Structure 1
């Protein structure tokens, strides 16, 4: 019985003898991580909450806005990111951000006065009638929905084009 195991033992010894030291070490540490632990970077705290535009005065280029992913109004940069050390680097501004002209707003937005009434949603009541903010450019077909602007005209045109193509395809398949 011992003789039958001897060739297997010799084979294992031969294989282990041929492996360099690092490979043998890898065999002895099977299942163990060889990578050093990764440094955990803390997530930045949420931006400062605000109830009016004046609350954000100390943070350059920020606006008191509400986004679709947060129920609170906060002092955010123009691209809806949290200011870093009281500064914003973003150039173009998203929906509801304070602006002085339409060139500051993203595509599909214009700079205009907010329609603030007693019936306005809470996220619009942070502005005064004198403020100018980036709003959906409704004259060019952009409609507001869920705190974003969508190009309704392009969507309608695209759907019409799809229906026309489907109709032509069916007409060709049926022999017309």
Structure 2
């Protein structure tokens, strides 16, 4: 049984093709051997991470990392384990945990996620003081960069700013 992925043709349509063809085109790097089912399962596991965006308890650093993966530079879309490649593998493989969906439009999926993203981020931000919410909404790229360097950065800043100034409070 072969697993299938989809590669866009010149019209932007993504017909299903064998995943091993996609993976073999990338590089001559010989890594560990995986069964087709294991490869599909890994793509599915990665895609399931997108669900964490809707969970208000998902750390902001994790949400920003997932957003970077989903909305990455289109040049990276054809790379193994990119968001787009994961969609292709999971939607077209007979070994997928999902019923056969055929080719999906990655931009439609991104648009769907993007339409809900502000709500999901705001739900997480409700757990932080007002000044943090304002800073994240005013400078999301800067906050994302700081969190990428140090996932605990925001928590450290909150602790630093919450040191009591009044000994009797």
Range class of TM-score, shorter chain: under 0.3
TM-score by length of 2: 0.26
The structure whose Rg is larger is 1
TM-score by length of 1: 0.26
Greater relative CO (CA pairs within 8 A, separation 6+): 2
Report which of the two has the higher share of strand: 1
